[in-house]
Amino acid sequence: MVENQFAATAKPIPPECVVRVPPWVWFLLSLLVAIGLHRILPLEVLPPTVNSLFGWVVVGLGMAVLAWSEQQFSRHRTSHDHKAVASTLITTGPFRFSRNPVYLGLSILLVGFAITLNILWLLLAAPLALLVMQLHVVPREEACLEQLFPEAYPRYRQSVRRWL
């Protein structure tokens, strides 16, 4: 019964906001394709003795960016679900430095795994996930945010870079 009441009062999702494939899927797909390619033709990033510690530091950095971003979503009580409409424009935390810290964190995570697992294919695949974000996902999200926050979002967009 609660679900029906919520559905009746839920804000409809504007077409600009619809992203059919969840963004994280592109990062996971990059990871899986790279691992598959590595099984067929193994290519290393660095000598095995160098990559482990440095790779884990990079993985930790990616996880920290993701955790900081998630903390901001919780703090502002808004969703980061690709099927939901944002209730608040977040401009604090990592969003002060990047309009897309979640995708940035996922990219850093992929690079860290590439180094840690010593898979050059993954280092090559990480930019492909970012390219999908740049060309397909982010423009839709930006159009959505501009529609939802017509006064605040253009100012935010001018003051904070898309990536870094």
pLDDT in tens, 40-59: 999 988 776 666 788 999 99
User: Which of the 8 DSSP states describes residue 95?
Assistant: G
User: Which of the 8 DSSP states describes residue 97?
Assistant: T
Count how many domains the chain has.
1
Residue 11 included in any domain = no
| 118: containing domain | 21-159
pTM value is 0.86
SS3 94: helix
Residue 5 included in any domain = no
pLDDT in tens, 113-142: 999 889 999 999 999 999 999 999 999 899
Residue 1's pLDDT band, with cuts at 50, 70 and 90, is very low
User: CATH number, domain at 95?
Assistant: 1.20.120.1630
Q: Measure the CA–CA gap between 80 and 4, rounded to whole angstroms.
A: 22
Residue 15 included in any domain = no
